[in-house]
Every structure is written in structure tokens, then in C-alpha cells.
Amino acid sequence: MMNRAKYKICMVVCVLFVMQSCYNYRNTGLLQTNNKSLPEYEKVKYEPYRLRINDELIYRLITTDETLAKVIAGNSSSSLTYVNSYRVNEDGTVDLPFLDSIPVQGLTLEEAEMVVQNGYQELIPDAEVKLALANKTFTVIGDIGSGTYPIYKEKMTIFQALAMSGDLAQSGDRKHVRIIREVDKKPVVLEFDIRPNSIIESEYYYIYPNDVIYVQRSQGSFYKMNTYSAFIGLITSSLSLLITVLYYVK
């Protein structure tokens, strides 16, 4: 009877140990809806990116004035467009050909586009201006790999960004994902749990140019395995070795 009781206790301990030593959906699953232990994030209105010092602007002027197009382009071609890039200066202005310094810091691309276009239309009535960011990238580091990737669309999400870098590893700490972002000229660390469904449309959902995403390795991940079958195999081989050693010692 005592041997059976000890056997049952050992089995219970092993089962509990196996359950604690493997990854499960509650720990690693994304977009969870029925896990009350997860935080609930409020939805916030999306704010478009606003230009900052050292941003690199791609500038494109479109006009039917061939003479001016040739002067701006600096060659003898008859191209009606001119494309170049310009950096936002320390004082928040950008210097463009034939215009005085234009303040653009704090403006969205659409707002800056209209300001620049209005300036050129004083010289060229049919002038049309297109602006874009040359430094429209984000960076990923930590237990997910590392690299810098382009933001290929407006309103790019945290899930799309992580997918570009190779997706989260099983050992990645989903409870403490961090985004380093510049706010009011100062770096701010935004920390959040990426598992709850409420992450959608929260302040952590969208990625902005120059963001740095950091995913650390979760504590205790060294002792965990990806599947129960792998862990059971380890336990079985360990028990076999232990029984063999005890047999020869006995």
C-alpha cells in the first residue's frame, strides 16, 4: 500500500512539473479574450506621425513650366518633375530650392506638403508638391532577432512589425514588450503585454518611424520546452537512466 501511495504521489508531482515546464496558450497566445489575468487596454485615436528634427524628407515638385524644371533639375532634360531629399534642421525648418526656410517640425506630412506647395505656388501657379519620409523605418532587438525594417504602409501594427523580423520566439517575454519612442524630443519607453485582444487600437498597437521594439527573454525559459512530448521524452529517458543506476547500485 505504501509503495502504491508513493507511486501515485510521484506521478502527480511529475504531471504538475511537466505542466509547469512547457509553454501553453495562456503564456504565449496572442489576441486572448477570456483570460481575466491579462490587462485591459483602452482604445485611443490614431495620431499621424509628426515631423522631427533630423527627419529626411523626400521632396518632389511637379510643374508644367519646362524652363523652371530644367533650372531645378540642373540639366538640359525636359523633365517636369524634380526629386531630392532634405533634412529637417535643428531649428525645425527645411531648406528647399527657391524658397526661404520653411518650419515643418511638428507637422504631419500632409500639413507640411501643403505649406511647401503654397510656397511654390507663389512662384509657379500650377506647382504640386509631394513629400515622403526617407527614414521611415523601425528597429527590432532582443529575443526575436535584430534588424532595421521599412514601414511599408500607413498604420503599420505591432504584429506586422514583429512578423517582418521573424515573429516572437517561444522564449520571448510577451508580458513586457517595450517600444522606445521619441515623444516631445525625449525618448520614452512604452511597456505592455502583447497577449490580450485589447491591444488592438490601443496606444501600443501602431508602429511609428524610428521606433525601437525590444523583446526580452522570459524568466525561466531555460527550463521550458516547446512541446509536452519533448519534455515527456526527456523525463522518460531520465527515469530510465535513474532506474538503471539504482539497479546496478542495488
> What phi and psi, each to the nearest 5 degrees, are found at residue 26?
-65, -30
Instruction: Render pLDDT for 102-147 as a digit per residue (tens, 0 to 9).
Output: 999 999 999 999 999 999 899 888 888 889 999 899 999 988 878 9
**The Cα angle at residue 55 between residues 53 and 57, in degrees rounded to 5:** 130
Give the model's pLDDT for residue 69: 64
CATH of the domain at 116: 3.30.1950.10
**HSE toward the beta carbon, residue 215, CA cutoff 13 A:** 24
Boundary-marking domain end, from 83, 109, 133: 133
Quick one: 156 and 212 in the same domain? yes
228-249 vs 2-20: helix crossing angle, rounded to 10: 140
Edge-to-edge strands of the sheet including 147-150?
A: 147-150, 137-142, 212-215, 177-183, 186-192
CATH of the domain at 177: 3.10.560.10
Residue 156 lies in a domain: yes
Instruction: Render pLDDT for 55-94 as a digit per residue (tens, 0 to 9).
Output: 999 988 888 877 776 676 554 444 455 567 899 999 999 9
Quick one: 30 and 18 in the same domain? no
Quick one: 168 and 215 in the same domain? yes
Range of the domain at 39: 25-44+136-222
Instruction: Render pLDDT for 193-246 as a digit per residue (tens, 0 to 9).
Output: 999 999 999 999 999 999 999 999 876 544 444 444 544 555 565 556 555 655
Quick one: 90 and 167 in the same domain? no
